[in-house]
Amino acid sequence: MICLTLMESSIEANLEVLENNRPYIDMVELRLDMLIDPLMIPPDTVKLKFGIPAIISFRKKVDGGKYEGNEDQRRLVLYTWSKYGFDFVDLELGTFFPEIEKSVLESGKKIIRSYHNFDMVPDNLEDIIRELSSRPGEIAKVAVYPYTSKDALKLFEVYDKVKDIKDKIILGMGEFGLPSRILYKKLGSMLSFCSSQEKSGAPGHISPLDMKNLYRVDKINSLTAVYGIIGNPVMHSKSPQLHNTAYEKARIDAVYIPFIVDNIDCFLKLAKLLVIDGFSVTVPHKVDIMDYLDEKSPELDTILSCNTVVLKGGLLKGFNTDSAGFLKPLLSLVDVSKINNCAVIGAGGAARAVISALKSIGKDVSIFNRSELRAVKLAAETGSRYYPVTRLDLLDGYDLIVQTTTVGMAPNEAETPVQGYKFRRGQIAYDIIYTPLKTKFLKDAESEGAVIIGGMEMLTTQGKEQFEIFTNRPFPSEEQKENF
């Protein structure tokens, strides 16, 4: 079930949020601690207006809520509200309100026994979950905050250990916890929470619309194939839209999830736990992932950077679809025979794919990069020249300038790696960033009369090929682009 957390200070405002999201959700959690004066509101009318199953909770500040008053007042509010047919009453571990527990259970409703930890994933998480579920008729709920890939692995390892517990909700907060919210059903949780776009109920909540229509979380089951993208940052990625929409069009039972990753070893353990079938790779893991591959598609031997990994029988096979993705818009938009020499800004994994693509059409390349060491190595490996990115005076000599760094990507839209460079008329400026669609690098180029190419078509082309590698099926249709 998809549960919308209602966080507004009045019932009217909460009802408005509910109505805006009703098509996407199955139930609500009403956060009494957020209401201005919950004892002045008639709970029976509220329950009626909700019209769907509802949880009531009254969170103290230590549990991530707003309430800082005394326990007697909290007990009174919860007691009053719990009398009016709400389906679930959330009581935290350590909260002892026997009269509420008795009346809730006698009326056939349920207690959710919860534990929140905003600081970490505790080592004794399994014990905590067992304690939460030790009383008959109570549903165990934990919300913990993983801050690293190692924490995320710790959280995901617990699902298997407590699979004997039927009634449970185990969720991770923040970006590292996001996959637990999307895969809740596959992982055995009773529900997953989400918040309206305007106000987030907990860090990492996804909007109800995305829960329902993008990730289709309520349709994910034990048979659903799991794919994803690893990166850091990764939440800006449009790949989930591209792949999830394509799965739906092609009627493939699969989901594609963003995984923020700060440690590839931990992610690969997680991938095996979750039985992930494949994943895309983005900044900054495209080169490092190469060391983990058991098998390589031939193009990797020249590109030495990988953006696509298929996992089969515990083995990892790497591919690169960036290179072809980069070339397609270039070949269709400009006459490449007129390009004599190319400048590539950056020396990371994306730059490798771009250089390889340019070399494959016989072009001469110079690398302009911030740090010398990496660029000199790449220049030697690819037969290119290297210059510091500060040598803006040299850029006029290039017909094509390709921007492959993360500089200028949202939210740092005011930045460009070639600050102060005046593009020349007719020069071609190609930025592989697609958020924003037009970076400062491209805007500067356009204002000087240069030809500009943004990163969206490269994303679509490389994603389409990736889809075919992952699923062994043709990409459903060109209309895909309309979904961005």
348 contacts ligand ATR (rule: CB under 6 A): yes
Q: How far is the CB of 288 from ligand ATR (least distance, A)?
A: 8
- Select the span of 145-153, 324-332, 346-354, 449-457 touching ligand ATR (CB under 6 A): 346-354
In the bound state with ligand ATR, the residue whose beta carbon lies nearer, of 73 and 371, is 371
Output the smallest distance, CB 390 to ligand ATR, in A.
10
Q: Which x/- pattern, by CB under 6 A, does the window 62-81 give for ligand ATR?
A: --------------------
Q: Are 438 and 403 in contact (CB under 8 A)?
A: no
Out of 141, 168, 186, 205, the active site residue is: 141
Shortest distance (Å) from residue 154 CB to ligand ATR: 26
Q: Judged by CB under 6 A, does residue 347 bind ligand ATR?
A: yes
Asked if 369 is part of the footprint of ligand ATR (rule: CB under 6 A), the reply reads yes
- Cβ pair 409, 425 in contact under 8 A: no
Residue 283 interacts with ligand ATR (CB under 6 A): yes or no:
yes
* C-alpha span between 439 and 407 (Å, rounded): 9
Task: Look up residue 191 and give its two tokens.
Answer: 């529900």
> What residues have CB less than 8 Å from 87, skipping those under 6 apart?
27, 53, 54, 55, 109, 110
Whether 205 is a known active-site residue: answer no
Options 63, 90, 322, 444, the catalytic residue: 322
Considering the complex, state which of residue 266 and residue 289 has its C-beta at the smaller distance from ligand ATR. Answer: 289
The sign of the torsion formed by the CA atoms of 464, 468, 471, 474 equals: positive
Using CB under 6 A as the binding rule, whether residue 371 contacts ligand ATR is answered as: yes
Which among 47, 90, 110, 116 is annotated as catalytic? Answer: 116
Q: Evaluate whether 414 touches 438 at the Cβ level (below 8 Å).
A: no
Nearest to 18 by CA among 27, 174, 45, 340: 27
Q: Which of 109, 370, 424, 438 binds ligand ATR (CB under 6 A)?
A: 370
Q: Which residues lie across from 278 on neighbouring strands?
A: 227, 310
Give the interface segment with ligand ATR, choosing from 4-12, 98-106, 178-186, 278-286 (CB under 6 A).
Answer: 278-286
CA distances from 79 to 48, 61, 76, 167 (A): 18, 19, 5, 23
Determine the distance from the C-alpha atom of residue 157 to the mean position of all C-alpha atoms in its chain, rounded to a whole number. 20
Query: Per rule CB under 6 A, is residue 329 in the interface with ligand ATR?
Result: no
The reply on whether position 395 binds ligand ATR by CB under 6 A is no
Distance CA 484, CA 480 (A): 8
Closest residue to ligand ATR, based on beta-carbon distance? 348
* Rg over CA atoms, the chain: 26
Kindly report whether the peptide bond that precedes residue 411 is cis, defined as omega within 30 degrees of 0.
yes
- Nearest distance in Å: CB 478, ligand ATR: 26
To the query of whether residue 286 is one of the catalytic residues in this protein, the response is: yes
In which residue are the tokens 């790949």 written?
A: 239
Pick the piece of the chain touching ligand ATR (CB under 6 A) from 17-25, 39-47, 204-212, 277-285: 277-285
CB burial of residue 374 (10 Å; 0-12, 13-18, 19+):
middle
Q: Which of these segments, 167-175, 180-188, 260-268, 401-409, binds ligand ATR (CB under 6 A)?
A: 401-409
Is 212 a known active-site residue? Answer: no
| Residues of the shown chain interacting with ligand ATR in the complex, contacts defined by CB under 6 A | 282-284, 286-287, 346-351, 369-371, 374, 404-407, 417
List active site positions.
116, 141, 286, 322
